[in-house]
Amino acid sequence: MSCLFAYLPQSSDASLRHMLKVALNARATNVVWFDTLAALLEACQVDDPDWVVIDVDTKDGDIDELLAIMMRITHTQWVLLTDGAPFPAWNHHAQDMAATVFRRPIDKQAFQHLVIDQMRGEDRGQLQGTPVITSQADQYGYLLGSSSPMLALYRQLQRLGPTQANVFIIGESGVGKEHVAKTLHGLGRPTDIGGMERRSQGGDAPFMAVNCGALSPELIESELFGHVKGAFTGAHQDHQGIFYQAEGGTVFLDEITEMPQSLQVKLLRVLESGEYRPVGSTRNQKANVRLLAATNRDAQEAIQQGKLREDIYYRLAQFVVTVPPLRARGDDIHALTTHFLAELNFNHQTTVSISDNALEHVQHYHWPGNVRELKHAIEHGFLLSNGCIEVTDLPANVMADDPSTAVEALSLPEGIRLDELEKAAILQTLARCQGNRQRTAKALGISPKTLYNKLQQYHALSSD
């Protein structure tokens, strides 16, 4: 149950005082009313309320004590009603505390949405839906899911993992190509395949991942192969590269198509001879590693565009593994959603749930960013929810994918002006949000103040 301290003198807006009393004098919120600001401040010295609503008079003698208490009670939500007179010290504290400040004349609807609805939501949110505390996602190595495409991938990895074959992993951004590489690495163990004994690479063997697009062309050769002291300006000591550090393990080259052509030639030498030479050295070193590579591009298209050498592709691609996009994985979307939410609840010791409407929305979204985007979307909803993730708590691009709110769903006459299109989008979204301006602004990706100004403008035009 939330605890709210309120000080609204008789001089305050009577309708606002009545609204607060009627709305919050319920079991969900414990409201304590004070006759004077001094009495409220004295109570704050003993108890730390969840909310404090104060009608502020900057000429009041207790204002300095109020500012001091605001700095001390950091978790409290401060709601301040002012006449708008400039007061730098007050404004500074209000900013630091992220207080909600209403300046007269006070917009009653904004007060309802930003204060009363928020307080109610904190108390009833935990009761909406069943808390997600267990995962429904099966797991194989570092990979999650049990859809048909993923089961086919697991069978392929089971056969390739124990070998030392180079594997080229292809898949869209966010599908989990590095997780595939880590799973292949972990599957390495002594075995006999095709009459050839293979060495172990799992267990304590190192796994070294390199994003070829994240390193400058000047540094990537040194990062991979190392350098000797004095090889170039700034090389004050010998440096052991990735291939040396991964001795007996796996080197994973992510986004291989971003590697400069000049370095691809040197990598080809490693693939052909099993040897490499540190920058500035006159001696070759043996590369005792398994090489895995990945790209989110079409390999043949990358070859035609000069992004990937054909000879190095065929050396790397002894086997090609394609990771399915999330939109092709069916019920895995639901399972992954519960998995990520259960992890968040465990890590934060919370009991957040997700509404059926939001879950259905997540299930039907096309997820261009794949598993990574889904994970971020659930984290986004988790942080914005009041205990139950609703559609409006999801990222704007996920909400916008709903056919019922997409611009394409509007019936647009030919030659409609942009301002008319904007008005239609705002009014239609407001209707779908049942008049809730806070949710409408969030869905449209604009501030509540911008939405308020637009609605005031439309009202003035209709009056005219």
60-101 residue pLDDT tens: 666 777 777 877 776 788 888 887 777 777 777 777 777 788
Task: Decide if pLDDT at 266 tops 50.
Answer: yes
The Cβ of residue 148 has, within 10 Å, a number of other Cβ atoms equal to 12
The residue among 107, 45, 105, 55 whose CA lies nearest residue 78 is: 55
* CB 271, CB 316: distance < 8 Å: yes
Residue whose tokens read 């709903």 = 402
Task: Identify the pLDDT of residue 429.
Answer: 78
Helices (H) and strands (E) in the chain, counts: 20, 18
The Cβ of residue 383 has, within 10 Å, a number of other Cβ atoms equal to 12
Q: Which amino acid is at 383?
A: L
Q: Which two tokens stand for residue 441?
A: 């602004």
Higher pLDDT, 426 or 341: 341
User: Is 460 exposed, middle or buried (CB count within 10 Å of its CB: 0-12, 13-18, 19+)?
Assistant: exposed
CA 392/CA 71 separation, integer angstroms: 32
* CB 333, CB 180: distance < 8 Å: no
The DSSP bridge pattern shows strands 250-254 and 290-295 to be parallel
* CB 326, CB 332: distance < 8 Å: yes
* CB 55, CB 17: distance < 8 Å: no
Q: Which amino acid is at 197?
A: E
In percent, how much of the chain has pLDDT > 70?
84
Q: The whole model's pTM is what?
A: 0.68
Express each pLDDT in 310-334 by its tens digit. Answer: 999 998 888 999 999 999 999 999 9
Of 112-116, 163-167, 405-409, the range with the lowest mean pLDDT is 405-409
| DSSP notation for 124-147 | HGGGSS----S----EETTEE--S
Express each pLDDT in 131-145 by its tens digit. Answer: 888 998 999 999 999
CA 220/CA 191 separation, integer angstroms: 34
| DSSP notation for 347-413 | HHT---EE-HHHHHHHHHS--TTHHHHHHHHHHHHHHH-SSEE-GGGS-HHHHTT-TTTSGGGS---
Task: Identify the pLDDT of residue 12.
Answer: 64
Task: Identify the pLDDT of residue 406.
Answer: 37
Q: 126 falls in which pLDDT band (50, 70, 90)?
A: very low
Express each pLDDT in 153-205 by its tens digit. Answer: 999 999 999 988 899 999 999 999 999 999 999 997 544 444 333 444 555 78
Mean pLDDT, residues 6-31 taken together: 67
Task: Identify the pLDDT of residue 139.
Answer: 93
Compute CA distances 113 → 75, 121, 254, 431, whole Å.
Answer: 20, 10, 47, 15
Of 90-99, 119-128, 216-225, the range with the lowest mean pLDDT is 119-128
Task: Decide if pLDDT at 407 tops 60.
Answer: no
